Amino acid sequence: MVRQANDARDQAVLAYHQDGYTAWPASLSQDLLHRLGSATHAIQSQVAALPQEMQALLAFERDLSTTGRGGIDAKDVGDAIFIIGDPSRFDPVFLELVQTPIIRQAASALLGCEDLALHFINVTIKHPRFGRGIGWHRDYPNPSYCTEHADFLRLMLCLDGMDETSGATRFIPGSHMLSDAQAVEEKTQRNWPKPSPSTGCALTCGTGHIVAIHPKVLHGGPMNTSSRPRRNIVIQIGKASAPMTGTERDSVSGLRLRRPLP
């Protein structure tokens, strides 16, 4: 069993470096998954009662373009949240998540580094029937949470699972095979490839599964046209030796991931 687990992890690491993304071959415990789902639901259901400083951590669908949600008017989406920023300020269970062995093992194996630092956590929500599509992009470089070189990754925990009808993230395999300088130039000139929304590979997965995203792989995703929510917890982790650039920080930025006990 141990050998099989190691083989599966080796295959995931290989896929990550070849394709720019992979599904990590281990899922979260049902107990922690349930508590994360409950915490996310509590934030969603208590918007009106939140103090102003906590509401400021939320990006609401109504404040974003109608294009991303297929022309549906802002008045029809109510208090629907697109992104919960800095969610550990709402509930410490999100910090518990990033210190679990599965998160550390995945980040360490994929980055080839033991000394790891957290950059941010958010919850990205695609609501049933109008959850917005996300255009093709690379995570490196970005103006808010980045490092000088592409020394980080994003792990995406699927609270509800995702498939093509619920707006599963799509990838262009191998599109991360460019230099950091090329990626910076593309972003500066705004001339990165922008395929059609149906291009590439949709990564489907079940609840509790973790998707690893290389910072330079092209990825995006269509609207959630299903009757089910698609809530993903996004965790950006980098090499601790590579300090973040820019000025934006969350309450968790710079937190070291605990090393396993000897």
Average pLDDT over residues 229-241: 98
Q: 66 pLDDT exceeds 70?
A: yes
Cα distance between residue 162 and residue 238, in whole Å: 25
CB within 8 A of 192, min separation 6: which ones?
136, 137, 138, 186, 218
User: In a 3-state reduction of DSSP, which class is residue 213?
Assistant: strand
The helix-helix angle for 101-111 and 2-19 (nearest 10°) equals 50
Mean pLDDT of the residues in the chain: 95
Query: Half-sphere exposure of residue 25, counting CA atoms within 13 Å on the CB side?
Result: 15
Task: Look at residue 196 in the predicted model and tell me its pLDDT.
Answer: 86
User: How far lies 39's CA from each of 43, 45, 88, 92, in Å?
Assistant: 6, 10, 10, 9
**Residue 197 pLDDT class (50, 70, 90 cuts):** confident
**Residue 3 pLDDT class (50, 70, 90 cuts):** low
**Residue 210 pLDDT class (50, 70, 90 cuts):** very high
Find out whether 165 and 226 touch, Cβ atoms under 8 Å: yes
Q: What percent of the chain has pLDDT over 90?
A: 90
**Residue 22 pLDDT class (50, 70, 90 cuts):** very high
Average pLDDT over residues 89-110: 97
- 184 is written with which tokens? 């910076």
Question: Which residue type is seen at 203?
Answer: L
Task: Look at residue 166 in the predicted model and tell me its pLDDT.
Answer: 96
Cα distance between residue 177 and residue 211, in whole Å: 19
Tally of CB atoms within 10 A around 227: 9
Q: What percent of the chain has pLDDT over 70?
A: 97
Nearest to 39, CA basis, from 77, 80, 84: 84
**Look-up of token digits 């009106």:** 48
Average pLDDT over residues 66-88: 97
CB within 8 A of 179, min separation 6: which ones?
none
Rg (CA), the chain: 18
Task: Look at residue 192 in the predicted model and tell me its pLDDT.
Answer: 87
Cα distance between residue 161 and residue 237, in whole Å: 22
CB within 8 A of 118, min separation 6: which ones?
98, 235, 236, 237, 252, 253, 254, 255, 256, 257
Cα distance between residue 230 and residue 140, in whole Å: 24
Average pLDDT over residues 65-78: 96
Cα distance between residue 141 and residue 246, in whole Å: 11
